Amino acid sequence: MQIVGELINASRKKIREYIKEKNPEAIAAVAKDQHEAGADYIDVNAGIFVGKEAEYVKWLVQTVQEHVDTPCCIDSPDPKVIEEAAKVHKGIPLVNSISLESERYEKLLSVIKGTDMKVIALCMSDEGMPHTKDARMKIADKLVNGLVSNNVAIDNIYLDPLVQPIGSGDTLGMEFLNTIESIHEEFKGIHTICGLSNISFGIPKRQFANQTFMIMAITKGLNAAIMNPLDKKMMASVIAAEMLAGKDQYCEKYMNAYRDGLFEH
C-alpha cells in the first residue's frame, strides 16, 4: 500500500492557523510525524483559501520538502494551483487531481504531458459524481485512454473511483469496491487510490467503519490510500490485510510491524 498522509489540509482548524501565520516549524512537524509513520507522499491542500490557494500550496510544498525527504501530493481542483506548485516541487509529485470535467481535463493534461509526474484521476465528469460501478468504469475508460494516448505511463496513473457515504445509499460501498476490482482487471499495471473516510460520513464510531472498509478494499486490490498514517489501528489493519491478501512476501512487513510494537495499541 502506498500511503498519502492527509493531515496537512486547511479544512483542519489547526492546519488552517499554521498556514495563515506561515508557521514552518508546525507544518514541518506534521510532515515529519507522517513520514516517520510510513507516509510515501505528504498531501498538501489549502483549498479553503480562495484567491491565496496557489501562494499557500507553494509555501506548503517548499516547507514540507525542506524538512522531509518525501514527495508531495499536490491536492487542488485548480489546474493553475497545481502548475504553480509543481514548479517549486523537487522530484516527482503526485498530482491530485485530473478528472473528465471539462474545466480541469485539458488544462491539467497540458501540465502533466511530457513529464514523469504521477496523477490521480477522479471518476467524475461534467454530469457529476457517478454512483454505480458501470458509470464509474465508463469514465475510467475515457480517462485512461486519454492519458495513455498522451503518453502518460500506466504506472503513473492512480484511478480514484470516489468513495461516497454509506448513509446515502446501501449499495454505495459495494459499488465502490467492485469498481476497484474491475479497474485492476481492465487496466493492468494501474494504481487505485481513494480517501476512505467519506464512507463513514454521518455515522458514529467513524474509525471503526473506516478500518473495516479499508480491509474490504484491500481484498479488491486497492493499492494506495489518502489517510491518516498516525492512526495506528488503521496502519495495523493495512499491514495485516495485505499479508493475508498475499502482498507481504515472507510476512516481512507484518513481522517488522510486530517488532516495532504497532499491534500493541
247 interacts with ligand THG by CB under 6 A: no
Minimal distance in Å, beta carbon 9 to ligand THG? 4
Among 53, 83, 84, 160, the residue binding ligand THG under the rule CB under 6 A is: 160
Q: Tell which positions 189-228 bind ligand THG, by CB under 6 A.
A: 194-195, 197-198, 226
Task: Give the residue from 250, 192, 202, 227 showing the smallest Cα distance to 38.
Answer: 227
11 interacts with ligand THG by CB under 6 A: yes
> How far is it between the farthest Cα atoms of the chain?
51
At 163 the three-state DSSP class reads: coil
Minimal distance in Å, beta carbon 25 to ligand THG? 20
Nearer to ligand THG, 120 or 241 (CB): 120
Residue nearest to ligand THG (CB): 195
**For residue 94, how many other CB atoms are within 10 A of its CB?**
27
Nearer to ligand THG, 97 or 178 (CB): 97
The backbone region for 27, taken as left when phi is positive above 0, alpha when psi lies in -120 to 50, beta otherwise, is: alpha
The answer to whether the beta carbons of residues 34 and 7 sit under 8 Å apart is yes
Among 5, 9, 85, 182, the residue binding ligand THG under the rule CB under 6 A is: 9
Q: Tell which positions 14-73 bind ligand THG, by CB under 6 A.
A: none
The answer to whether the beta carbons of residues 128 and 165 sit under 8 Å apart is no
Among 27, 44, 46, 75, the residue binding ligand THG under the rule CB under 6 A is: 75
120 interacts with ligand THG by CB under 6 A: yes
97 interacts with ligand THG by CB under 6 A: yes
Nearer to ligand THG, 192 or 253 (CB): 192
| Planar angle of CA 241, 11, 32, nearest 5 degrees | 60
Nearer to ligand THG, 9 or 125 (CB): 9
Q: How many residues does the chain have?
A: 265
Question: Helices (DSSP H) in the chain: which residue ranges?
Answer: 13-20, 24-36, 53-67, 79-88, 102-112, 133-149, 172-186, 206-220, 232-244, 252-259
Quote the cell numbers at residue 148: 495513455
Task: Give the residue from 231, 176, 230 showing the smallest Cα distance to 198.
Answer: 176
Nearer to ligand THG, 65 or 96 (CB): 96
Nearer to ligand THG, 223 or 258 (CB): 223
Candidates 8-16, 33-41, 166-174, 245-253 — which segment interacts with ligand THG by CB under 6 A? 8-16
146 interacts with ligand THG by CB under 6 A: no
Residue 19 identity (one-letter amino acid) = I
Residues that bind ligand THG in the complex, under the rule CB under 6 A: 6, 9, 11-12, 75, 96-97, 120, 160, 194-195, 197-198, 226
